């Protein structure tokens, strides 16, 4: 009798838009692994129950998306060093002893895609990050390891940006401020990491952030340009991209942690979004 495929899922709220199931199924086909991957919509206060049900039923691993990366951090029995420093977990891995390991692959995913899609080297650049939620927590340390001249985190709730900057200050040049108090640019790279567009809200950003050399990266991904991408193009940014490449790269790292095999992300990108890899 053929054994049941191992079960994986992505959990979040909202979750209908997620492309993780098709990506992981493609990775499984590429690597000859037998998995089943689904979407789980959890109530805002229902994360723990949903995760317990999934692992009690034999689930092997979860991807965790907004707004649950902090809850996943609390849930994990042990965490990787990056996840420990970030205070956010986007990957849960069932261990053979019944415990659960928490990891964060967002930063690795962003860095790999910045290098592949934008051919960007971070060293000595001035970077602005918009947002101070779970995704930002995951990308700060990997970005700081590349030694930017400045990493400015701007957030609607100023205190969260300031707290994050303080938390990571030992790792490099980082400051925090409110969205209404961003130092004028131009920045070399602007990373959009808020969920404002999911609520159809704009950010009201000033016109002083972008110059002809500025590259803009939206963590959000869509089949059409996001509101941040529209704004960045209208401001004259040199390159503008969405977060689909990061999604693939962070997913590939999660897949590797679960299955010990590295999928081919360039091939996956060509298949899922033909002709978009420079």
Which spans of this chain sit near ligand NAP (rule: CB under 6 A)? 66-67, 69, 106, 109, 131-136, 155-157, 160, 193-196, 198-199, 201, 203, 219-221, 243, 246-247, 250
Measured CA angle at 88 (ends 25, 224), to 5 deg:
50
Per-residue DSSP letters for 92-145? EEE-TTS-EEEE--HHHHHHHHHHHHS----TT-EEEEE--SHHHHHHHHHHHH
Cα R_g (the chain), whole angstroms: 18
Neighbours of 27 (CB within 10 A): 26
Residue 270 C-beta-side C-alpha neighbours within 13 Å = 5
Nearest distance, CB of residue 175 and ligand NAP, angstroms: 16
Which tokens belong to 276? 């978009």
Cβ proximity to ligand NAP: between 211 and 247 the closer is: 247
Cβ proximity to ligand NAP: between 198 and 266 the closer is: 198
Cβ proximity to ligand NAP: between 28 and 88 the closer is: 88
Neighbours of 96 (CB within 10 A): 5
69 is catalytic: yes
Q: Alpha-carbon distance 109 to 173, whole Å?
A: 21
Q: Which of 6, 211, 219 is nearest to 106 (CA)?
A: 219
Cβ proximity to ligand NAP: between 25 and 211 the closer is: 25
Residue whose C-beta lies closest to ligand NAP: 133
Q: What is the largest CA-CA distance in the chain?
A: 65
Please check whether residue 62 is in contact with residue 91, taking contact to mean a CB–CB distance below 8 angstroms: yes
Cβ proximity to ligand NAP: between 93 and 251 the closer is: 251
Nearest distance, CB of residue 16 and ligand NAP, angstroms: 12
Helices (H), the chain: 20-31, 47-56, 69-75, 81-86, 106-117, 134-145, 158-167, 227-234, 244-259, 265-272
Strand partners, 63: 10, 91
Nearest distance, CB of residue 26 and ligand NAP, angstroms: 16
Nearest distance, CB of residue 244 and ligand NAP, angstroms: 7
Cβ proximity to ligand NAP: between 41 and 198 the closer is: 198
Q: Alpha-carbon distance 83 to 225, whole Å?
A: 30
Of these residues, 69, 115, 116, 147, which one is catalytic?
69
> H/E element holding 88?
none
Active site residues: 69
């Amino acid at each position: 009798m053929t054994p049941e495929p191992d079960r994986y899922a992505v959990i979040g709220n909202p979750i209908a838009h997620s492309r993780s199931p098709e990506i992981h199924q493609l990775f499984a086909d590429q690597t000859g692994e037998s998995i089943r991957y689904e979407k789980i919509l959890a109530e805002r206060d229902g994360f723990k129950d949903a995760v317990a049900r999934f692992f009690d039923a034999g689930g092997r691993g979860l991807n965790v998306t907004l707004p649950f990366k902090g809850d996943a951090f609390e849930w994990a029995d042990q965490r990787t060093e990056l996840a420990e420093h970030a205070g956010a977990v986007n990957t849960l891995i069932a261990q053979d002893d019944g415990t659960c390991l928490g990891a964060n692959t967002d930063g690795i995913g962003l860095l790999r895609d910045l290098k592949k899609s934008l051919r960007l080297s971070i060293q000595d650049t001035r970077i602005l990050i918009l947002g101070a939620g779970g995704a930002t927590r995951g990308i700060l340390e990997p970005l700081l390891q590349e030694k930017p001249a400045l990493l400015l985190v701007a957030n609607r709730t100023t205190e969260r940006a300031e707290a994050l900057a303080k938390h990571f200050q030992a790792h490099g040049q980082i400051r925090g401020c409110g969205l209404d108090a961003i130092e004028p640019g131009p920045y070399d790279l602007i990373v959009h990491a808020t969920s404002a567009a999911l609520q159809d809200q704009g950010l009201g950003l000033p016109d002083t952030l972008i110059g002809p050399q500025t590259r803009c990266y939206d963590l959000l991904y869509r089949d059409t340009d996001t509101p941040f991408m529209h704004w960045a193009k209208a401001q004259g940014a040199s390159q503008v991209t969405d977060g689909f490449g990061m999604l693939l790269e962070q997913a590939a790292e999660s897949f590797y942690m679960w299955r010990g095999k590295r999928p081919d992300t360039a091939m996956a990108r060509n298949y899922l979004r033909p002709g978009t890899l420079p």
